[in-house]
A and B are shown apart, each in its own frame.
Chain A
Amino acid sequence: DAGVIQSPRHEVTEMGQEVTLRCKPISGHNSLFWYRQTMMRGLELLIYFNNNVPIDDSGMPEDRFSAKMPNASFSTLKIQPSEPRDSAVYFCASSRNRWAEQFFGPGTRLTVL
């Protein structure tokens, strides 16, 4: 079975540009999580969905960040406009339910110049 799929794996953009990160969770998983990892702050939860509904978005840093889950097999995390301080590795994870083991994707390394 395929694991969590994220695209792109690497993204380099200029400040002010819109960035869209994509995630396909494991089939049959009902919960999806977006995390951000930096050296300074470690791994932080940005938002998570249960059955495609956002449950907790308290980790979303600013209005520049938005996330959607239009169906059970796809989610996006958008940053508009992007800033250099958004540079990080963004991970998507999915689980059977919000209390079960989370399976992480390979991450998207974002660099904002």
Chain B
Amino acid sequence: TQLLEQSPQFLSIQEGENLTVYCNSSSVFSSLQWYRQEPGEGPVLLVTVVTGGEVKKLKRLTFQFGDARKDSSLHITAAQPGDTGLYLCAGGGRGSTLGRLYFGRGTQLTVWP
């Protein structure tokens, strides 16, 4: 059973378009992290959100944590070919699972010039 569901699984867009990627769960998490992974490499952390309703911006990327701390979204404005990669969300465990990360399967984004 996948704790975190990401959608869409694949996204192919033209340079300059906007996009939103979703990460949903029925579980509550202590935090929500977004990673980006390129072929042949490990995931690299982009952002961590910890408070319900929190919004963080990283240049053209906007991250939001749901009020109930069960879901999150990543919005990219004016996508560029350099944004191409696998975007993973990960929820932080609570209580006895504090310290564990539960990853979604990811959204493969391709941005064409």
Contact = CB atoms under 8 A, between A and B. Distances in A.
B42 A106 contact: yes
B51 to A, nearest CB: 16
Given A43-B43, A93-B42, A106-B42, A99 B98 contact: yes
Nearest to A4: B42
A104 to B, nearest CB: 3
B45 A45 contact: no
A101 interface: yes
Contacts, number: 49
B44 A44 contact: no
Interface string B15-49: 00000000000000000000000001111110010
Given A93-B42, A106-B40, A45 B48 contact: no
Given A43-B88, A48-B100, A55-B99, A102 B105 contact: no
A78 interface: no
B66 interface: no
A106 B106 CA distance: 18
Interface string B82-100: 0000001010100001111
Interface in A18-38: 31
B41 A45 contact: no
Contact of B101 (A4, A45, A106): A45
Which of B2, B42, B43 lies at the interface centre, i.e. has the most chain A CB atoms within 10 A of its CB?
Answer: B42
A42 B104 contact: yes
Instruction: List 6 tightest A-B contacts by C-beta distance, closest first.
Output: A104-B42, A98-B99, A42-B105, A43-B103, A91-B42, A104-B43
